[in-house]
Structure 1
Amino acid sequence: MPTVSIIIPHWNGRFHLDDCLTALRQQTFSDFEVILADNGSSDGSQEYVRQQFPEVRLLELGQNRGFTGACNAGYAASRGEFVILLNNDTAVDPHWLSEIVRVFGQQPDVGAIASKMLLFDQRDHFHTAGDTYRLDGIPGNRGVWQQDVGQYDRE
Structure 2
Amino acid sequence: MTDCSLFLRTFKQSKAAVRLKEDMKKIVTVPLNELRDSTYTKLFGISLEDLHQQGLTENGVPAVVWHIVEYLTQHGLAQEGLFRVNGNVKVVQQLRLKYESGTHVELGKDGDVCSVASLLKLFLRELPERLIPSELHPQFLQLLQG
Same fold (TM over 0.5): no
Query: Larger C-alpha radius of gyration, 1 or 2?
Result: 2
TM-score (norm 1): 0.23
TM-score normalised by structure 2 residue count: 0.24
| More strand as a share of residues | 1
